[in-house]
Amino acid sequence: MNTGPTEQNTASGRPDGGEAPDPAPSGETGGAPAPPWKARLAAAQPWATLVCRVALAGILAFAAYTKLPPALSIQSVEAYQLFPSGVAEFIGITLPMVEFALALLLLLGLATRYVAAATGLLMLVFIAGIASAWARGLTIDCGCFGTGGAVAPGETAYGLDIARDIGFAALAGIVMLWPRSPLSLDRLAGLYR
Amino acid sequence: MGKAARREARERLKQQRLKEQQKAKRNRVLLVVGAAVVVVALVVAVGYFVVMRDRGGGDVELPPQALQTDGSVVLADSGADAPVLEIYADYQCPACKQFETATGSAIQEMAAAGEVIVHYRPVSIFALRGEPLGSNSLRGGAAARAAADAGKFVEYNDVLFENQPAEGSAGFSPDELKQWGEDIGIDDPAFAERVDAESEVADRFAQDYAPELLEKAQGELGADSISTMPVTDLIAWGDENGVDSSFLDDTYVLEILEATGAVNERYDGENAFAGTPSVYLNGAKMGNEMYSASSLRSAVAEAEPGEPQSTPAEDTDTGADGEGAGGDAGASPSPSTSPSADAKE
């Protein structure tokens, strides 16, 4: 990612080489003026990212909370029958904590781009897990929110679960591609300003 | 100094500044990413530590365990004046295994210290679910009951949960069940014989009897009423309607089915039995706090002393101090006494 030459530019330009000009309404408007819709989009982006960040943080924190107690979270992982029991136990105990930590970081806006990438990756892993349970004909609750385990054959909701996780992955993708947003610790560190 | 040279110098300076800025940015990114990684590692490590410490563990010198007339087992220090913790579990139920893993050591420690009277009441909520779920559940439950005859129920209970088959896979084979008995020191040949005999009954129940009973009942009673019917009622209905259950007579398989039917009658309202694991502290159903050893400990510490609602199978040095303990049931030493006799709560 080759970003702008000055610190201001580093911060304002899309770090991934987006061609949008400095969206700050004031300040120098060097170069050709962008079409107004583009400027408006650029001005709205940080707030859109903030909304996605906070929404994702809320979703993750809620998911972590509803997975407790750890004993039942372990059971949810074991229901996938993908891991030896020691591994399932470790995942079951640590997954809610990982989710909680990611939620905290998103809320604080620390390492926003990378935390969002990790969250998106986590969602992809979840999707793979649900798809594998579906493909193997297991009848389980995904344990995404709340505690999982076996359910009656007619009560699975794999398609819905996957669609929902795709939505969450999309939120994470937005934050990852446009990490610049107000109220973030990254700004204090001089990033994505 | 030529113009070109000056321009070149300026350009070089610019390049250098750019490089420095890029380096500074990279450092800032590394800084925030490093901080984020530390936060994640800290949260996960602290959480993991807390969960593992909560479990406790280590070997406990078990207090006496007393078989009850309904096949349940009371684990209590002799003369313990303590609250009663009733544990209803199915050996095939994954959440029961997790309950056991999270709190088993703590419960045994409390029992050993005379702080609680533990009443283990194995049931089979999966009995009618056919192969392999139902037969695993019944084989496990019946074998645990046989281990109780040898005075090793609690040890065997732990071994069964440790080796619980995945839901939907065959497990708890008679050979395994016998081997685990040997491993914990049951050397009475009666145990092995009983496990073999009960396993046959359990398999027959799951493979032949339950499907026939369910098919007939579905036709005449409807699926809805079957799903809410205690298993013992369904068996009784079958006997009246040509599905003979006499092969169950005097078996531990029947005993565990009766224990399952009885708990449905024992509790109602907000305490109603709704699946396993169900844990009752002095007759009050516990919520999710039961899955944490520390919150279970504090709930027990706050509870009043109680009496187990059952009758010891024979005079033993049980923790229940005798006076009026389950005086509501005929104190027959027969292992197949009616479990509804102790419906008292």
pLDDT one digit per residue (tens) for chain B, 345 residues: 578 899 999 999 999 999 999 999 999 999 999 999 999 999 999 999 999 998 877 778 899 999 999 999 999 998 889 999 999 999 999 999 999 999 999 999 999 999 999 999 999 999 998 889 999 999 999 999 999 999 999 999 999 999 999 888 899 999 999 999 999 999 999 999 999 999 999 999 999 999 999 999 988 888 888 888 889 999 999 999 989 999 999 999 999 999 999 998 899 999 999 888 999 999 999 999 999 999 999 999 999 999 998 889 875 444 444 443 333 433 334 443 344 434 333
Closest to B36 (Cβ–Cβ): which among A69, A97, A110? A110
A79 chain-B contacts, CB cut-off 8 A:
94, 167
| Among B28, B98, B288, beta carbon nearest to A189 | B28
How many Cβ contacts (< 8 angstroms) between chains A and B? 99
Residue B49 exposure: Cα atoms within 13 Å on the Cβ side: 6
- Select from A167, A177, A57 the least CA-distant residue to A106: A57
Nearest by CB to A71, which of B18, B36, B101?
Answer: B101
Using an 8 Å CB-CB cutoff, list chain A residues near B51: 70, 93
Q: Do B51 and A115 touch (CB under 8 A)?
A: no
> Cis omega before residue A69 (within 30°)?
yes
* Grouped pLDDT means (10 residues each) for chain A, 193 residues: 37 41 43 77 91 97 94 93 93 96 96 96 97 94 87 89 97 95 90 81
Contact A102 B40 (CB under 8 A): yes
Q: Distance from B205 to chain A by nearest Cα, in Å?
A: 21
- Cα nearest neighbour of A3 on chain B: B22
Q: Collapsing DSSP states into helix, strand and coil, what is residue B120?
A: strand
- Tell me the domain boundaries of chain A: 45-188
Mutation target to probe the A interface, by most A beta carbons within 10 A, among B11, B22, B30, B43 is B43
Q: What is the predicted pLDDT for the residue at B222?
A: 83
Residues forming beta bridges with residue B119, ordered by sequence position: B74, B86
Answer whether B328's CB lies under 8 Å from B344's CB: yes
CB neighbour list of residue B205: distance below 8 Å, 6 or more residues apart: B127, B134, B135, B138, B248, B253
pLDDT at residue B322, as a whole number = 40
Question: Cβ of B29 and A6 within 8 Å?
Answer: no
* b/e burial code for range A113-151 (CB count within 10 A of at least 16 → b): bbbbbbbbebbeebbebbeebbeeebbbbbbbbbbbbbe
Which residues, 6 or more positions from B113, have their beta carbon under 8 angstroms from its beta carbon? B77
**Chain B CB contacts of A149 below 8 Å:** 94-95, 167
Contact B91, B171 (CB under 8 A): no
Integer Cα distance of A142 and B74 in angstroms: 37
All residues of chain B having their beta carbon less than 8 Å from the beta carbon of residue A96 are 47
Tokens in use for B101? 């893993």
- Measured between beta carbons, the chain B residues lying within 8 angstroms of A103 are none
Which site among A53, A74, A184 would you substitute to test the B interface, given the most B Cβ atoms closer than 10 Å to its Cβ? A74
CB–CB contact A71 B291 (8 Å): yes
Q: Which of A97, A150, A189 faces B43 most closely, judged by CB atoms? A: A97
Q: Which residues of A touch B (CB under 8 A)?
A: 3, 5-7, 10, 68-72, 74-75, 78-79, 81, 89, 93-94, 96-98, 100-102, 104-105, 110-111, 114-115, 138, 147, 149-150, 185-186, 189-191
Cβ within 8 Å, pair A189-B94: no
3 state DSSP class of A118: helix
Q: Are B226 and B218 in contact (CB under 8 A)?
A: yes
Residues B171, B163 contacting (CB under 8 angstroms): yes
> Is A75 exposed, middle or buried (CB count within 10 Å of its CB: 0-12, 13-18, 19+)?
buried
- Given an 8 Å threshold on Cβ–Cβ distance, is A6 in contact with B21? yes
Residue B74 β-bridge partners: B66, B119
- Least CB–CB distance from B39: residue in A70, A89, A101: A101
Asked whether the beta carbons of residue A189 and residue B32 sit closer than 8 angstroms, the reply is yes
In this prediction, the answer to ipTM > 0.90 reads no
A50: burial class by Cβ within 10 Å (0-12, 13-18, 19+)? middle
